[in-house]
Structure formats: C-alpha cells, structure tokens
Amino acid sequence: MPNLFSLLESENCQIQTQLSSAMPDLIPTATYISPDLKKDFHPGCGPHSTQGTTTGPSDVVADKGAIDKDRPTEASDSTLGELRARLTTLQDQVNVFLTDRMKLGAAKEEDDKDLERRILDDGVDEDDVE
Amino acid sequence: MINLDKHIKPSRDYYLALGLEGSANKLGIGIIKHPKGELTATNRAEVLSNVRDTYISPPGEGFLPRDTARHHRNWVVRVLKDALAVAGLVGRDLDCICFTQGPGMGAPLQAVVIAARTIAQLWDVPLVGVNHCVGHIEMGREITGAQNPVVLYVSGGNTQVIAYSKNHYRIFGETLDIAIGNCLDRFARTLKIPNDPFPGYNIEQMAKRGKNFVELPYTVKGMDLSMSGILAFIDSLAGDMFAGNKNKLLVAADGSSVTPEDLCFSLQECLYAMLVEITERAMAHVQLQQVLIVGGVGSNERLQQMMAQMVQDRNGSVFATDERFCIDNGIMIAHAGLLAYRMGQTNELWDTVCSQKFRTDEVYVNWRDD
Amino acid sequence: MASLDYIFQLDVPFITTRQATIALNTLSPDPILKPNEITVEYSTKDTQLSIVFKGLSDRVIRVAISNVIENLKTIVECMEEFDN
C-alpha cells in the first residue's frame, strides 16, 4: 500500500496525463522492509527516460573513456514505453537507496565485492574474461 | 528414410524459423526457410535474413559478461525488428523460435532467452533450444555440402574435434584448458591490438608480416591439446620484449630483434600445427576423408591452408564457411533448431533454462539416420 | 540457517492479464543460484505482476532486483514493439 505522500503524487500525475490519453498509466511501485526500516518507492511524475543512471557500462569499460554505443532504446510514445521508462526510474531509485544502505552497513567489503562479482559475472575473474 | 514433414503447417509447403544467438559477444538473429522434404543440393535451405551486432570492448580489454549481457538486452528488439523486416515477415508467420540454450556465457545467454520466451508467447510460436556447437556443425554441412566430415570447431569459447556417430555428434578431441580463440584474444590484449573487427583477425594480419619463427611449447596430449602453457610462455616473451629485457629467444637467427609480428606468426604456426595433428588423428580413427572447419577461428586463412595441406596428403578435402556463417550468427541456430523442430523437438518454457556447459554430444540428432 | 530478513516487493501493472502472465512465465523458469541467500517469488493478480524478493542483506537483494528489472524492461520492450 503506497504511503500518503506517494498516493498524492500518483494522483497528481494521473490527473495531468489522463487529460491527454485514453489508456490509464501503468505505474510500477515497490516496498522495502528490513529489520530496521520500511520504505515505499514510487517513480513520481517524471520526466522518465529509459537511459538509466545506474545501468551504464561497467566501471572497467567506462574508465577507458569508451563511447557507449549500447544504450537502451528511447521509450516509444505508448503506454508500455512509459512503463519501461518508469521502471528505469524506479530501478535507479532502488539501486541508489540500497547502495547507500550498504555503505551505512559497512559490512566486510571484500566479501561483499566477491558476492556481487559472483552473482553478476558467474564467478568470472576480470583476468579470465572471454 | 526419415520423414521430416510430420509437423508442417497444412497450408504451406515450407517452414520458417527464427534463430537467436547470444552466447558470446555477438548478437545474431536470422530467419531461415526450409522447403518441404529432405534438404539436398537441389532442395536447399534459404537464408531470408541474417542480422548481427557485435559487442566490441576497448583495446586491451576482454568482454565482461555483464557488459555483454547489457549489449544484448539493449539491442535484441532492434535486431529482431531488422531480421523480420529484411525477411518481409511478421512473428506469427514463423513455425518456431530457436535460441541458443548453451554452451556460452551465462548472463548474455539469459538476456537473449528472456526475449525469446516473450515473443514466443506473444506470437504463440513454439520454442526450440539449440546447442551452439550443433548450430555451427549443421550450418557448415548445409552451406558447404560436406555430408559427413570430421568437424574442427574452433572459436573464442570452444575447441573440439567432432565426428557424427549414431544420432550424436561425438567429441573425439578437445582443449584441456582454454579455447584457441581465447588464447589468441588474450595474446591480442597483451599486445594491446584493437578488438575491431575481432582480435584474431588483427593477429592474422600481423602474422602475415612476421618472418622469424620463435619456438614455443608444443602441447598435444593424445587426442586432446592444451594451450594455457603456450599462452603463459608467449605472454612472458612479450613482456620481456616490451621491457627491453635480454632474452635469447627474442634474438632471431640473423641477429635482428624478434618483433610482435614474429610472435603472432609463431603463435599461429604452433597452435594451428597442433589443431592439424589432432584433426588428422581423428580422421584416421573414424576413417573419414572430409574436414569441415567451423567457428570464428575457422575464417583464418593460415589455418585453412595448413589443414588443406594435411588433408590433400590423405586425398581428402577441406570445407570452410565464410564470415557470414563461421562467426556466430542467428541463422545457424534457426537452421539447427528447425531440423530439430521438424523431428518433433520443442521446449516447454520451464525447459528453456540456459546452461553454460551444454555438451555437444548431449544433443539427440534424430534428423539424421546415417 | 540465517533468516532472509531483507524483503522487497515490486508491483508492475500491464495493460492486459495476458501480458502480466507472459511476463511471469518469462521470468520464472530461471532458478535462483543461491537459495539459502535469496528467494524470489512471482505471482499475478489480474493485470498486475508482483515479485517478492527475500534476502540475507541489502547487497544480495540489490543485485537480484536490478537483474529482474533489466529482464522486465526487455519483456516490456518486446511488448512495445510486437504486441499489437
């Protein structure tokens, strides 16, 4: 159940956009629950884009100054296109939030880096890339 | 005689299959048409579209699974659209959607199968999981007309010598550690050669300018071969060369200094001689006189030349495909997948999980009865 | 066994029930690699797909959530282009 603030936000956006489209907006939402904190996520009014800030190329490649020719396509002018853009916004919000939480948590850094590397790259060491 | 037409659509006398390939850094999508009946020299498969986009990493870097998967995710719908447009078809025209189920890199394979599952349900078209190696083999047979050759499959991710026997492609010899393409790619990184169009191609061009042969370890082991020791050895030589260290191996017979071109030349000569030896061993074992080279490294002219010399001495012949088909592509997946589909093989959604280690010999080749 | 105390629920609305079902069928076949560290459950209610992640830590669920959303974006883009 979204909290009161995000409910008002979403109603506000809906009033604005329902004037222009016949199809109801598709708005993804999320809820986070941990032992010490509960938080709701809502993409907000936008503007939204499929060019996410937390889903770029990996640092290894970005640091080489390579031009990113593999960015996502722009959202089409459609309900589903807007959904894809809103999902991107939500994804960025969640990634930033959880990354901040992780820094606060200050867990064993090396162990966590290895866990992430294992999950994302199936345990492939950077020296062992194909 | 096998009946290949038990699953043909009643209103048609041909089949249309879409194939999606993304097991390494190439994203390939193609559409193939099979006429009814057995495929023969006069009843050929037809390529309706063959679209590919390659993820190229910066020089000195290999391609990481997460970046490769990102590339495939962000390009798959565009490439799908292109493949359909070039063929002049819509999704519902298809008999089946074929996808690489393995072997290969986990995240990139998964990025592609997600799209395959979605469009299969949107268009109500069955899915067929395909083994990447079998894709290369069947495409090679179809394009070259080689009916029952010993297959040398050489790429960035695979090095196998294969021969058909009783409904399976059996592995007669293979690498004990790294694939030959991987060995070449990693040496290219050591030399900081560009990755465009692909590192092995640039090594080949440098090798053509090499003159001095440097002796490298030669590591054939029975029917198999090992390459990681050779890579370590030549990386170390290159390290000495760049650092200006004294190393007697880096001094040619005429007193001149060994160059990076000489190292590329030497590496190719050594690796390819090993491949020729294990291929010859397999030919003798199964008593076959044809060799078919498939996979990206198969486009190398020096390898083709050395293989041809050996095969001619045995009164046989060598077959190879051009870069449209030897480099990873979607058409080979569509072709091998369609052969399986015609024999009743499809995959339910729960059975479309990809596997990094899908073995060539696991596939039931029921479209052949020889 | 350590309990999976870090919970995240993602709700994604689609235009039709069919689309939500297709998304669920596309995401659910792939097994979770480390089930003692994280579980993922998918369900649909009418046109909405819900995904519940339960994990050992913020880091574990962050990677899984971002991966699933990446896949969702692919699914939605396929529908954008091909579901007419």
Q: What is the pLDDT of residue A7?
A: 53
Asked if residue B362 belongs to a known ligand binding site, the reply is no
Nearest CA distance, B115 vs chain A (angstrom)? 14
On whether ipTM exceeds 0.95, the answer is yes
Span B310-324, average pLDDT: 92
Is the pLDDT at A19 greater than 60? The verdict is no
Q: Does B115 contact C83 at a Cβ distance shorter than 8 Å?
A: no
Instruction: Name the neighbours of A, counting chains with at least 3 Cβ pairs within 8 A.
Output: B, C
**pLDDT band, residue A120 (cuts 50/70/90):** confident
Q: What is the pLDDT of residue B362?
A: 97
Is the pLDDT at A126 greater than 50? The verdict is no
- State the Cα–Cα distance between residues B341 and B18, nearest whole angstrom: 12
B123-178 pLDDT, tens digit per residue, is 999 999 999 999 999 999 999 999 899 999 999 999 999 999 999 999 999 999 99
A58-88 pLDDT, tens digit per residue, is 887 777 777 788 999 999 999 999 999 999 9
C interface with B, Cβ–Cβ < 8 A, is: 22-23, 25-27, 29-31, 70-71, 73-75, 77-83
Quick one: CA torsion of B130, B131, B136, B141, rounded to 10 degrees? Answer: -70
Q: What architecture does CATH give domain C6-82?
A: 2-Layer Sandwich (3.30)
A38-64 pLDDT, tens digit per residue, is 999 999 988 999 999 999 988 877 777
Is the pLDDT at A94 greater than 90? The verdict is yes
3.30.420.40, 3.40.50.720, 3.90.79.10, 3.90.1150.10: CATH of B146-325: 3.30.420.40
Judged by average pLDDT, the poorest of A28-32, A61-65, C39-43, C52-56 is: A61-65
Cα C20 to chain center, whole Å? 11
Asked if residue B255 belongs to a known ligand binding site, the reply is no
The residues spanned by each domain of chain C are 6-82
Q: What is the pLDDT of residue B59?
A: 82
- State the Cα–Cα distance between residues C77 and A112, nearest whole angstrom: 32
Is the pLDDT at A123 greater than 60? The verdict is no
Which of C13, C33, C70 is nearest residue A28 as measured by Cβ atoms? C13
CA-nearest residue to B24 within chain A is: A130
Higher pLDDT, B270 or A11: B270
Is the pLDDT at A128 greater than 50? The verdict is no
Q: Does B110 contact C22 at a Cβ distance shorter than 8 Å?
A: no
Asked if residue B204 belongs to a known ligand binding site, the reply is yes
Question: How many B-C residue pairs are in contact by the CB < 8 A criterion?
Answer: 58
Q: What is the pLDDT of residue A127?
A: 43
Measured between beta carbons, the chain A residues lying within 8 angstroms of C45 are: none
Higher pLDDT, B67 or A59: B67
For chain B, say whether A73 makes contact (Cβ under 8 Å).
Answer: yes
- State the Cα–Cα distance between residues B54 and B51, nearest whole angstrom: 10
The residues spanned by each domain of chain B are 14-139+328-362, 146-325
Nearest CA distance, C54 vs chain A (angstrom)? 9
Contacts of B18 (CB under 8 A, 6+ apart): B29, B30, B31, B83, B84, B91, B94, B96, B97, B98, B330, B334
Q: Does C74 contact B115 at a Cβ distance shorter than 8 Å?
A: yes
Q: Of B59, B218, B229, B156, whose CA–CA distance to B237 is shortest?
A: B229
**pLDDT band, residue A109 (cuts 50/70/90):** low
Judged by average pLDDT, the poorest of A119-123, B96-100, B216-220 is: A119-123
Asked if residue B155 belongs to a known ligand binding site, the reply is yes
Reduced to 3 states, what is the DSSP secondary structure of residue A42?
Answer: coil
Reduced to 3 states, what is the DSSP secondary structure of residue B230?
Answer: helix
Q: Of B296, B363, B355, whose CA–CA distance to B105 is shortest?
A: B355
Q: What is the pLDDT of residue A22?
A: 61
Q: What architecture does CATH give domain B14-139+328-362?
A: 2-Layer Sandwich (3.30)
